[in-house]
Amino acid sequence: MDDAANGLTPTLQNGSESLQIQVEVHQKLDSIAMKEDIKLSVLKLLNRHNVVFGDYKWTEFDDCFLTNNVQSVAIVDTELKLKERQPISLSRCSLSIHIFHLNEEGPRAENLDEEDEAIVAANHWVLPAVEFHGLWDSLVYDAQIKADLLDYVTTALLFSDRNVDSNLISWNRVVLLHGPPGTGKTSLCKALAQKLAIRLSDRYYYGQLIEINSHSLFSKWFSESGKLVTKMFQKIQESIDDKNALVFVLIDEVESLTAARNAVRGGTEPSDAIRVVNAVLTQIDQIKRYPNVVILTTSNITEKIDMAFVDRADIRQYIGPPSTAAIFKIYLSCLEELMKRQIIYPRQQLLTLRELEMIGYLESDVSKLSLILKEISRKSEGLSGRVLRKLPFLAHALYLKSPNTTMAAFLQALSLVVDKQFEEREKLSDCV
């Protein structure tokens, strides 16, 4: 087995390009074991379990050292490289092993002193954080959105490492995720920061996520907002100066800080907004020189963003409502959790869409429930990911109400609650 040092190690060649597998090792909080010792034990574990089918996680070990020091060992993100679930021979792969602790402290507030009041300008997490553990896996998208975002940051770091002349080839370390509300844009930004803090843990000692409270930076005092933005970025600069930290700056609903200046000049926005946009653009241009910072932004209404900011975004990724295939995956993960907690009992094996396709969608005792779930997924199109994650709870609360239920009964309740969602949406639309 080849053990790559970190996520930036080139893929190894064994006659042909070998698959690079990411292995995330969650070290227990009270463990003081050396990373090298943990890595050696993990390699022995992977030698004993040489073939896996896609992503896989170990939480129980037959090795006392791992039991005492490690919470879990997980092979992750294989779906970003493979089009379908298939056996993977680890001995033929390049392994990148990432060992991490989770920070349990939670966010701290970043305050700006203004006149006689303290303004809460941002929330600040040390990464990887307990709060975001598992968030990446819970977000389901159709396209290669996750892979593209990971590759973008990897390339930005590579170009910095090789001292690529930014006057000849430009990149600004800015990501813009845009699309309708409820599609998981903010969650994806937080999950990406968490994932990269783990993926690059050999390179940076820890990560930092600074989520700017955009609305708090608009001062009640005329012309002060631009100064507040500058003060906020000065505080961010203190974090960036720590070369051991990988810093992520998250600006949610970025249009509130970067309103289009042509609208402002037309008199539809207060003139103070021009100072805010100029301050944001100036600060981005200043911090883009630093190799250890990435700016993550989201927007529900991109047409209101100043084009000078849009042009600075290296990636402008649309995040839309999930398709039938993505909805099926979301429901599948929800049902798996309910079976794990024995709310749905007894446990029943559900087929994936790929497995249904392989049998030609023919109904049998094995495929019947999975085909019902496929139909529920089809009629759920148009609902956001945020709503979809609530529906299993609502299905139980409104139609079941018992401590446990069968899969067939639960799917019937889920179908009813989907219908109810669209009925309520139609009624709300009629009222409007």
| Burial zone of 51 (CB within 10 Å; 0-12 exposed, 13-18 middle, 19+ buried) | exposed
Q: What is the pLDDT of residue 250?
A: 97
Low-confidence ranges of the chain (pLDDT < 50): 2-16
Q: What is the pLDDT of residue 428?
A: 82
0.75 surpassed by pTM: yes
| Domains of the chain by residue range | 20-100, 108-318, 324-430
Q: What is the DSSP letter of 134?
A: T
3-class DSSP assignment, residue 113: strand
3-class DSSP assignment, residue 125: strand
- Residue range 108-318, CATH number: 3.40.50.300
Among 226, 228, 280, 237, which residue's Cα sits nearest to residue 115?
Answer: 228
Q: What is the pLDDT of residue 215?
A: 78
- CA distances to 41, 55, 91, 141 from 48, in Å: 11, 17, 11, 33
Please give the helix or strand (H or E) that residue 65 lies within, else none: helix 64-69
Q: Please provide the size of the chain in residues.
A: 432
Encode pLDDT of 300-332 as tens digits: 988 888 899 999 999 999 999 999 999 999 999
Q: What is the DSSP letter of 406?
A: -
Q: What is the pLDDT of residue 155?
A: 92
Q: What is the pLDDT of residue 143?
A: 64
Pairing relation of β-strands 20-27 and 293-299? unpaired
Pairing relation of β-strands 206-212 and 245-251? parallel
Q: What is the pLDDT of residue 125?
A: 98
Give residue 26's Cα distance to chain centre. Answer: 18
Q: What is the pLDDT of residue 142?
A: 74
List, in order, residues 6 or more apart from 21 with CB less than 8 Å away: 75, 78, 88, 90, 93, 94, 95, 96
Give residue 125's Cα distance to chain centre. Answer: 15
**Helix, strand, coil share of the chain (percent; to 5):** 45, 20, 35
List, in order, residues 6 or more apart from 373 with CB less than 8 Å away: 328, 331, 332, 335, 350, 411
Encode pLDDT of 143-174 as tens digits: 689 999 999 988 988 898 889 998 899 899 99
Encode pLDDT of 205-247 as tens digits: 999 999 998 877 766 555 677 888 888 999 999 999 999 999 9
